[in-house]
C-alpha cells in the first residue's frame, strides 16, 4: 500500500481539495485499495472543522465529495507512516522540513512537481479571495493528481528527494 499525505497551512482549502481529487481518481482507476490518502495542516487553527464551504462547493460542482474530511494538524508519526508527504507551497514544505527527521526528508515534495508542463511550482492559498481562487486550486489539483497517480502507478517508480 502507498500512503500519501497532502499538506497545506490550515487543512481547510488546498490539501483537502487535493485529497478529494486524488482519492476520486484512485477510486476511478481501481486503485483505492492500494492507496491510502489523507490531508493535514501545518497549523491547528481549524482542527476538527470541515473544509471551507467554498472548497466544498467548487469540489462538489466537479464531482468530488469533501464532506467526510475534517481538518487536523500534521503529527510527528505522519513522517514515518506516510510514503509521500506533499506540500502545497514552499512555506509549508519548509515547515515540514524543519519538523521532519533526516531519515524521512526524501518523502517531502511539492504537489506541483507532479504537474508536467506548468510554469508554477506552488498551489497558492485561495482563502482570502473569491470563488475563482478555489476554481484555480481545483484545476491545479486535478492536473497534479493525475501526474502523481501516473507516477505511483509506473512500474519500479521510486520517489526522489523533493525540491
Q: Which active-site residues does the annotation give? A: 8, 14, 125
List of residues 6+ apart from 61 with CB closer than 8 A: none
Determine the Cα–Cα distance for residues 13 and 143; give it in Å rounded to an integer: 17
> For 40, left (φ over 0), alpha (ψ -120 to 50), or beta?
beta
CA distances, 92 to each of 7, 31, 54, 123, 156 (Å):
7, 28, 22, 11, 29
Task: Using CB atoms within 10 Å of the CB of residue 133, give its burial: 0 to 12 exposed, 13 to 18 middle, 19+ buried.
Answer: middle
Is-contact 87 110, C-beta < 8 A?
yes
Cell 515547515 found at: 95
Amino acid at each position: 500500500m502507498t500512503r500519501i499525505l497532502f499538506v497545506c497551512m490550515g487543512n481547510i482549502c488546498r490539501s483537502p481539495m487535493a485529497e478529494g481529487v486524488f482519492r476520486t481518481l484512485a477510486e476511478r482507476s481501481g486503485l483505492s485499495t492500494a492507496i491510502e490518502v489523507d490531508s493535514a495542516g501545518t497549523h491547528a487553527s481549524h482542527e476538527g472543522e470541515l473544509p471551507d464551504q467554498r472548497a466544498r462547493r467548487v469540489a462538489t460542482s466537479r464531482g468530488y465529495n469533501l464532506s467526510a474530511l475534517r481538518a487536523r494538524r500534521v503529527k510527528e508519526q505522519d513522517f514515518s507512516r506516510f510514503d509521500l508527504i506533499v506540500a502545497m507551497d514552499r512555506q509549508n514544505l519548509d515547515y515540514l522540513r524543519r519538523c521532519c527527521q533526516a531519515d524521512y526528508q526524501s518523502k517531502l515534495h511539492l504537489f506541483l512537481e507532479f504537474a508536467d508542463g506548468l510554469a508554477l511550482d506552488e498551489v497558492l492559498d485561495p482563502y482570502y479571495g473569491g470563488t475563482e481562487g478555489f476554481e484555480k486550486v481545483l484545476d491545479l489539483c486535478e492536473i497534479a493528481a493525475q501526474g502523481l497517480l501516473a507516477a505511483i502507478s509506473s512500474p519500479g517508480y521510486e520517489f526522489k528527494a523533493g525540491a
